[in-house]
Structure 1
């Protein structure tokens, strides 16, 4: 039986270059189910927490990246404050690939075209491992939070809306 060769993405190449350990998880995807909750359903519970990458634009800093648990929502007001902005809005989807080098459903916080200010939800500190997009649809990278934070040169902040708030 032949092993399937995995095409390396920018995210994987960056992790390899920095000698960070990670595991690749592949899953079947469809255009109708590219959201993080759909990915969460496809991944096994013991594979770690699935995180989604959100790209936004601040009125002062320009492009900023938020990485939050799949089941949470970004708190735009908190995200603006921690990133040094008064206002923040989502990057238009039509601009995602030109800005980051990634497409919807395959946007990784690692290996973007430029190093944008990146913020992880404080929830990441509670995880043993996390899953983020591997840089293409149908691929997730499982990695330790410490390695992911270091490679992304990220800050950890409270940027999600809590369910009880």
Structure 2
């Protein structure tokens, strides 16, 4: 059981786990999850770790079929500049491997922003803390447990 699943198990909130066999040759983790689970990519959210010019880290969730607008992320977070963190640094900070970084149960709780498109769906899916594991839950419940800021569209 991953830290993300433990967090949910203790929360009392409704969620579903979806497992699939991850293909190590897959070019991109999020689209692979959507395809293998038969879910529209707009409902599957990836978690990216960003670093500000001041060296502060934050996590950003957006649909796997979208690309993060770093300038918009900087504007939303009140930073001058944001960039994707080094993958090894993201793994060290979150305690998860790239392709399995969950927004829940991270080693260091990062400020979390979620694209407001999540609110358009009855449920969304996101990493359960390892490749091949997705968590499905209502976006409002996710925001409640994660304290994520639904901050406009940044993709």
TM-score for the superposition, normalised by structure 2: 0.92
Instruction: Tell me the equivalent position of 1:16.
Output: 9
What is the CA–CA distance in structure 2 between the aligned matches of 1:75 and 1:24, rounded to whole Å?
A: 29
1:4 paired residue number: none
Q: 5+ unaligned residues in a row in structure 1: which ranges?
A: 1-7
1:81 aligns with 2:75: yes
**2:124 maps to what in 1?**
130
Pick from 79, 88, 93 the counterpart of residue 94 of structure 1. 88
Aligned-partner Cα distance in 2 for 1:43–1:160: 25
Q: Which residue of 2 is the match for residue 54 of structure 1?
A: 48
Aligned: 1:42 with 2:36: yes
Of 18, 40, 43, which aligns to 1:25?
A: 18
- Seen in structure 2, the aligned counterparts of structure 1 residues 61 and 17 have a Cα distance that, compared at 3 Å, is farther
User: CA–CA distance in 1 between the matches of 2:72 and 2:55?
Assistant: 15
CA deviations 1:108-150 (Å, max 9, x no partner) are 1111111111000010110100000000111000011011111
Q: Give the secondary-structure state (helix, strand or coil) at the position aligned to 2:134.
A: strand
Aligned residue pairs, count: 154
> Which structure 2 residues correspond to residues 62-81 of structure 1 after superposition, within 5 A?
62-81=56-75
Residue pair 2:44, 2:63 contacting (<8 A) in 1 also: yes
After superposition, what is the alpha-carbon deviation per residue over 1:42-99, rounded to whole angstroms, capped at 9, x for unaligned? 1123798111111110124600110001101111011111112110010101212211
Q: CA 1:45–1:97 in 2, change beyond 3 Å: closer, same or farther? A: closer
Q: Which residue of 1 aligns with 2:147?
A: 153
- Partner residue in 2 for 1:5: none
